[in-house]
Amino acid sequence: MGTEKLVLIGNGMAGVRTIEEILERNSTKYEVTIIGEEPYTNYNRIMLSNVLQKKMTVDEIITNPMQWYIDNGIRLVHHDPAVRLDTENKQVTTASGTCIAYDKCIIATGSRAFILPIEGAQLQGVVGFRTIDDTLQMIEQAKNCKRAVVIGGGLLGLEAAKGLIDQGMEVTVIHLEKWLMETQLNEQAGQLLKKDLEQQGIKFLMEKKTARILGTTKVEAIAFSDGSILEADLVVMSVGIRPVTGIAIEAGLHVERGIVVDDFMATSAEGVYAVGECAQHNHMVYGLVAPLYEQGKVLADVLTDGETEGYRGSTVSTSLKVSGCDLFSAGIIHEQDDIKSIEAYNGLANSYKKLFIQNNKVVGIVLYGDTSEENRYYKMLRDGVDITTLNAVTLLASAGGEASMSVAEWDDADTVCGCNGVTKGTIVQAITTQNLTSVAEVSRCTKAGNSCGKCKSDIGELLAHVIGDKVTTAPTGICACTHLSRDEIVLQIHQKGLTTTKEVFQELNFRNAEGCSKCRPAINFYLHVTFPKEHIDEKESRFVNERMHGNIQNDGRFSVIPRMRGGKTTPQQLLKIAQVADKYQVPLVKITGSQRIGLYGVKKEDLPDIWEELDMTSASAYAKAVRSVKTCVGANFCRFGTQDSMGLGIKLEERFEYIDTPHKFKMGVSACPRSCVESGVKDFGVIGLENGFQIYIGGNGGTEVKEAQLLTTVVTEQEVIDLCGAMLQYYRKTGIYAERTAPWIERLGFDHVKSVLLDPVQCKSLLEELDEAVAGKRNDPWTAVRVNENKEKELYTVGRG
Ligand SMILES: Cc1cc2nc3c(=O)[nH]c(=O)nc-3n(C[C@H](O)[C@H](O)[C@H](O)COP(=O)(O)OP(=O)(O)OC[C@H]3O[C@@H](n4cnc5c(N)ncnc54)[C@H](O)[C@@H]3O)c2cc1C
Ligand code: SF4
């Protein structure tokens, strides 16, 4: 144990990170005491937004549990704020009267949410958004109340608003300014953001000033300066933060907005340092973790007698943790005499970019909608790259070339995790020297990815780049039969050469030797993808619809939906369908949502005969497989069509039909940007342009509607078909069974999927794999039933005469 006493006031993000850095440099130099006001051990405050948005639990955001303090010999004075700092006698006193002596003291008391000093601000139901307790209070309120008002349309206010929507409340955001996040965004980007948030259900009252909060004991309404009133049960104040400096002021330290520190984080009192949101360096008080962690590193060097050039201030960047609203902002984002800007707006993709240039260098960035190039621009800004050789087009180019440079191509010195300042070189070294195989392990060893989490997809890409398919994910069992994750199971299937579900259950010690209805179809699929040639499909491991090759209806009868590629049919097909429907007295004939004709209410025992008489192939309308391709009439008949959408749709369908995928895979081809086919909500959507095709991926209808994202624009039909094949195979290889493409892309990271599909080498090899996997295995299931009497009897004999 150390000889010198180090006391940290504030058990938050910057302070504890400083202690971690100190322990890494010298774990025996100090006897450490941490004084914490909150009743929790150190947690990731940033992730409170995810807790409110129901993406994480409170447990999951605890970064250092009690055991960490014990393991590192740290005394934690818990839930007991420091109330006095005596710099003469070098001791800190807490609210409970505990006196702790120090040789060195770090103040890291952070900030508090600023509560507007208006009438009613003290009423029950008025909260800030800063702590676990604030968050739990909001979650509790949401259980009993309906109407929430968030005052402040900045980063935190909007994350709170989205969280309250996800908690089931009706939410109105009140903002004083003309557009949202006015410090980080310019007007156009702010308006796009507002539109997207409105679509997620948030209401806005802009340029409104709150005058009073009304109510007797609890919040009842808000009164505005223009005399109008809005009813509310919960008011979240998110109008800014104020550094917590009381204890420093009383101790006589030099305090302005924050506790004034020099380049070595030293305050005006000997032996007392400050880091984090409570500190003011060179007139700046920072409110994001990246600069605070930089401060922590410097202070750790100082306190362990390491070499340091000191802290020189930070360039900050911002993004918003609300899915569906991708934005990035950094640097100076307002034009001045010597700062000019260039911008691009893509109305179709709802994306906007603006770069601010001074002396041929990028000094500010605003991106909205498409943030795929944030790293490229941020590197330019951070490194002061001279852009004289780039013109407006090459600078703003959004696809291909430098723009889509993958993290694998970055320099070792480039920063992957901005929050924690971790470079690519550090991550690659950790992966290779410590045999890391998952993003979680990389985060644990390097700290990359464990703050805002935005760089996790880059880390995943680096892992894949360095160790290929040895990448694993955190163990989250696929069902109650096993604790093994999908990736672990697939890995073992590979390594142990397992070829049947039974072998998997046995060899991998599944609790249930027969598996269950959840894991049986999943394992069958993983076996099929892993050993496409050797694996014999186990019909009994398939869901009933797939076993019967028809969708079972709510009365136990089935649907029959023949294939009509690209939605195109012929009079002969129509006649046949009509005759069959009439002969078997099919109760419902319906045009489906995917441009086919469905016969509904067919008796099980009639299925084989109906298929025989139809003499058409099955549209796989029941399968976790490639479904149909929806097309518009396109250039052949429509005034606006620029491409042969039907032709391309049919080609896509012919090329990929009957291929098994983790979940259903739907496609659409529109011949022009009017997108009559709604290509923007298809797993693979194509929109024809004058001279090519835009490709959108990951759009899902269904229970969770997701908009597809623009993958790229290509010129030829063959490129469309190839990208589709590559996506299908990558989805097959990495998708979790029953995971649709939108969550799949979210899990892997859009940028990662994009980089794989747009890499010609990877794309080619995926296509080869797909071809090999499906060779000779793509028969119409009904043809097989019709030629196999046994199968027919076994499955369809009920009452058949
Ligand atoms: C909801 C939310 C979302 C955020 N999202 C992002 C994001 O996406 N990206 C980003 O970079 N930043 C984000 N931030 C900001 C980030 O969390 C802060 O910049 C960071 O937590 C500041 O670290 P700190 O240690 O200075 O303060 P804190 O983490 O606030 O820690 C200070 C601690 O000191 C304690 N304390 C105060 N006074 C005393 C006392 N007298 N005695 C003992 N303890 C005391 C406080 O209770 C607190 O626990 C977010 C913040 C919030 C609230
Ligand atoms: S998408 Fe274009 S071509 Fe197709 S029907 Fe609509 S307008 Fe016509």
More confidently predicted of 275 and 702 = 275
For a mutational test of ligand 2's pocket, the pick from 672, 689, 696, i.e. the residue with the most ligand atoms closer than 8 A to its C-beta, is 672
Encoded tokens for 454: 């935005």
Q: How far apart are CA 378 and CA 362, in angstroms?
A: 9
Mean pLDDT within 502-524: 83
Quickly count: other Cβ atoms within 10 Å of residue 778's Cβ: 13
Encoded tokens for 528: 């099929």
pLDDT at position 459: 87
pLDDT at position 786: 65
What is the DSSP secondary-structure string of 305-373? Answer: T-----------EE---STT--EEEEE--S-BTTBEEEEEEETTTTEEEEEEEETTEEEEEEEES--TT
SS3 716: coil
Phi first, then psi: give them for residue 690, nearest 5 degrees: -45, -45
The torsion defined by the Cα of 45, 48, 49 and 54, in degrees rounded to 10, comes to: 150
- Ligand 2 centroid to residue 631 C-alpha, Å: 9
**pLDDT band, very low/low/confident/very high, at 37 (cuts 50, 70, 90):** very high
**pLDDT band, very low/low/confident/very high, at 374 (cuts 50, 70, 90):** confident
pLDDT at position 477: 60
Encoded tokens for 654: 């012919």
Q: What is the pLDDT of residues 412-470, one digit of tens each?
A: 877 888 777 788 999 999 999 988 888 878 888 888 887 777 787 788 888 878 887 66
Answer yes or no: are the C-beta atoms of 95 and 80 closer than 8 Å. yes
More confidently predicted of 339 and 539 = 339
| Mean of per-residue pLDDT scores for the chain | 89
Encoded tokens for 566: 């690209």
Cross-strand partners of 441: none
H/E stretch holding 627 reads strand 626-631
SS3 131: coil
Phi first, then psi: give them for residue 704, nearest 5 degrees: -120, 100
Judge if the beta carbon of residue 673 lies within 6 A of ligand 2: no
For the four alpha carbons of 633, 636, 642 and 643, in that order, the dihedral sign comes to positive
* b/e code 336-371 from CB counts within 10 Å (16+ = b): eeebebeebbeeeeebbbbbbbbeeebbbbbbbbbb
Q: How far apart are CA 739 and CA 42, in angstroms?
A: 34
- Ligand 1 centroid to residue 265 C-alpha, Å: 18
- Ligand 1 centroid to residue 45 C-alpha, Å: 6
Q: What is the pLDDT of residues 462-471, one digit of tens each?
A: 887 888 766 7
Given a cut of 50, whether residue 800 has pLDDT beyond it is no
Cross-strand partners of 204: 173
pLDDT at position 15: 98
pLDDT at position 404: 46
pLDDT at position 798: 46
**What's the distance, CA 370 to chain centroid?**
14
Is beta strand 30-35 parallel, antiparallel or unpaired with respect to 75-77?
Answer: parallel
Q: What is the pLDDT of residues 254-295, one digit of tens each?
A: 999 999 999 999 999 999 999 999 999 999 999 999 899 999
**pLDDT band, very low/low/confident/very high, at 242 (cuts 50, 70, 90):** very high
Cross-strand partners of 562: 618
Q: Please return the burial class of 298, using the count of CB atoms within 10 Å of its CB with bins 0-12, 13-18 and 19+.
A: buried
Q: How far apart are CA 738 and CA 478, in angstroms?
A: 11
Encoded tokens for 792: 């027919």
> 386: which DSSP letter?
B
CA-nearest residue, atom 2 of ligand 2: 672
**pLDDT band, very low/low/confident/very high, at 1 (cuts 50, 70, 90):** low
pLDDT at position 495: 83
CA-nearest residue, atom 3 of ligand 2: 641
Mean pLDDT within 44-68: 87
pLDDT at position 402: 41
Is beta strand 111-113 parallel, antiparallel or unpaired with respect to 241-243?
Answer: antiparallel
**pLDDT band, very low/low/confident/very high, at 148 (cuts 50, 70, 90):** very high
Q: How far apart are CA 252 and CA 241, in angstroms?
A: 23
Residue with the two structure tokens 């740290």 = 74
Cite the annotated binding site for [4Fe-4S] cluster by residue number: 632, 638, 672, 676
Q: How far apart are CA 171 and CA 193, in angstroms?
A: 16
Q: Please return the burial class of 412, using the count of CB atoms within 10 Å of its CB with bins 0-12, 13-18 and 19+.
A: exposed
Q: At what angle do helices 456-467 and 424-433 cross, to 10 degrees?
A: 50
Cite the annotated binding site by residue number: 632, 638, 672, 676
- Ligand 1 centroid to residue 12 C-alpha, Å: 6
Residue 358: partners with Cβ closer than 8 Å, 6 or more residues away = 332, 338, 339, 340
Mean pLDDT within 126-143: 95
pLDDT at position 401: 40
Q: What is the pLDDT of residues 302-320, one digit of tens each?
A: 999 999 999 999 888 888 8
Given a cut of 50, whether residue 182 has pLDDT beyond it is yes
* Beta-sheet strands, E only, within 81-145: 82-86, 91-94, 99-101, 104-107, 111-113, 126-127
CA-nearest residue, atom 4 of ligand 1: 46
Of 168-177, 389-398, 674-683, the least confident: 389-398
Residue with the two structure tokens 């007007």 = 187
- What residue type is 242 in one-letter code? R
Of 181-190, 215-224, 774-783, the least confident: 774-783
More confidently predicted of 419 and 130 = 130
Of 7-21, 63-77, 140-154, 326-340, the least confident: 326-340
Three-class HEC string of 140-205: HHHHHCCEEEEECCCHHHHHHHHHHHHCCCEEEEEECCCCCCCCCCCHHHHHHHHHHHHHCCCEEE
Q: How far apart are CA 755 and CA 727, in angstroms?
A: 11
With a Cβ cut-off of 6 Å, ligand 1 is lined by 9-15, 35-38, 45-46, 48-49, 81-82, 108-110, 129-130, 156, 244, 247, 276-277, 287-290, 292, 321, 419, 452
Answer yes or no: are the C-beta atoms of 589 and 569 closer than 8 Å. no
- Ligand 2 centroid to residue 668 C-alpha, Å: 12
- Ligand 2 centroid to residue 709 C-alpha, Å: 20
SS3 725: helix
Answer yes or no: are the C-beta atoms of 93 and 84 closer than 8 Å. yes
How far is CA 499 from each of CA 306, 535, 778, rounded to the nearest angstrom?
56, 6, 20
Judge if the beta carbon of residue 649 lies within 6 A of ligand 2: no
More confidently predicted of 412 and 170 = 170
How far is CA 142 from each of CA 170, 234, 321, rounded to the nearest angstrom?
10, 8, 20
**pLDDT band, very low/low/confident/very high, at 510 (cuts 50, 70, 90):** confident
Is beta strand 241-243 parallel, antiparallel or unpaired with respect to 597-602?
Answer: unpaired
Encoded tokens for 498: 């397992």
Q: How far apart are CA 167 and CA 599, in angstroms?
A: 41
Q: Please return the burial class of 161, using the count of CB atoms within 10 Å of its CB with bins 0-12, 13-18 and 19+.
A: buried
> 424: which DSSP letter?
H
**pLDDT band, very low/low/confident/very high, at 801 (cuts 50, 70, 90):** very low
SS3 83: strand
Answer yes or no: are the C-beta atoms of 311 and 294 closer than 8 Å. yes
Looking at the CA of 674, name the nearest ligand: 2
Q: First and final CA of the chain: distance in angstroms?
A: 87
Given a cut of 50, whether residue 681 has pLDDT beyond it is yes
For a mutational test of ligand 1's pocket, the pick from 52, 289, 320, 450, i.e. the residue with the most ligand atoms closer than 8 A to its C-beta, is 289
Q: What is the pLDDT of residues 713-723, one digit of tens each?
A: 999 999 999 99
Encoded tokens for 637: 């008949």
Quickly count: other Cβ atoms within 10 Å of residue 126's Cβ: 22
Could you tell me the pTM of the whole model?
0.62
Answer yes or no: are the C-beta atoms of 255 and 248 closer than 8 Å. yes
Q: How far apart are CA 374 and CA 724, in angstroms?
A: 26
pLDDT at position 796: 56
Q: How far apart are CA 313 and CA 232, in angstroms?
A: 41
pLDDT at position 43: 95
Q: What's the farthest any 2 CA atoms get from each other in the chain?
A: 101
The torsion defined by the Cα of 425, 426, 427 and 432, in degrees rounded to 10, comes to: 90
- Ligand 1 centroid to residue 297 C-alpha, Å: 17
- Ligand 2 centroid to residue 669 C-alpha, Å: 10
Judge if the beta carbon of residue 674 lies within 6 A of ligand 2: yes
Given a cut of 90, whether residue 372 has pLDDT beyond it is no
Q: How far apart are CA 507 and CA 514, in angstroms?
A: 12
Given a cut of 60, whether residue 399 has pLDDT beyond it is no
Residue with the two structure tokens 């032709």 = 647
Q: How far apart are CA 10 and CA 24, in angstroms?
A: 20
Q: How far apart are CA 638 and CA 711, in angstroms?
A: 26
Q: What is the pLDDT of residues 562-609, one digit of tens each?
A: 999 999 999 999 999 999 999 999 999 999 988 999 999 998 888 888
More confidently predicted of 700 and 648 = 648
Of 156-170, 538-552, 672-686, the least confident: 538-552
Q: What is the pLDDT of residues 786-798, one digit of tens each?
A: 666 665 555 555 4
Q: How far apart are CA 309 and CA 616, in angstroms?
A: 76
Q: What is the pLDDT of residues 732-787, one digit of tens each?
A: 999 999 899 999 998 888 999 999 999 999 999 999 999 988 876 667 777 766 66
Is beta strand 99-101 parallel, antiparallel or unpaired with respect to 104-107?
Answer: unpaired
Phi first, then psi: give them for residue 137, nearest 5 degrees: -65, -40
Q: Does residue 46 come out as left (phi exceeding 0), alpha (psi in the -120 to 50 range) or beta?
A: alpha
Q: Please return the burial class of 559, using the count of CB atoms within 10 Å of its CB with bins 0-12, 13-18 and 19+.
A: buried
